[in-house]
Amino acid sequence: MAISFQEERLHDVRLECAARYMSGANYVGYGLAARFTNTVRGISYYGFFVSQTGECLLLKVENGQELVLADWTLSPAFKTSSVNTLRLECSGGQVRAFVNGELALQARDNLLPAGGYALLAGPGVNVRFDDLTLSGIPPSS
């Protein structure tokens, strides 16, 4: 897994980018991570992955141990052979993932309260990420 990350102390955050699959295995994922931390115990983050077949996965990695929050599910909004806009939102205990503006997956988990962000690409996948935006999410009233 290739990970490019920025360490921060962000709590409620929205990450969005344009992602274009370039080459590699169709079934290997790529995507975004929020609340990313890297400690002596291992990396931790909430991750949103998509495959070139249009399937999406939402997981939590805590100290290097993976836990699936929402298993691989086909997103009707995914466009093969095209650029897709991916968005990952973490607000309080709510984790939500979007493909081209459409909600793809969601889960509740509050064990990772803050951290940075990352771009993710599975082994052997070449993907181009563009136009990364990062913004805070105001607290719900």
Residues 59-118: tens digit of each pLDDT: 999 999 999 999 999 999 999 889 999 999 999 999 999 999 999 999 999 999 999 999
Q: How far apart are CA 104 and CA 56, in angstroms?
A: 7
Give the domains, in start order, of the chain with CATH numbers: 2-132 (2.60.120.560)
Q: What is the pLDDT of residues 11-69, one digit of tens each?
A: 899 999 999 999 888 888 999 999 999 999 999 999 999 999 999 999 999 999 999 99
Q: How far apart are CA 138 and CA 45, in angstroms?
A: 21
Q: pTM for the full model?
A: 0.91
Q: How far apart are CA 135 and CA 69, in angstroms?
A: 23
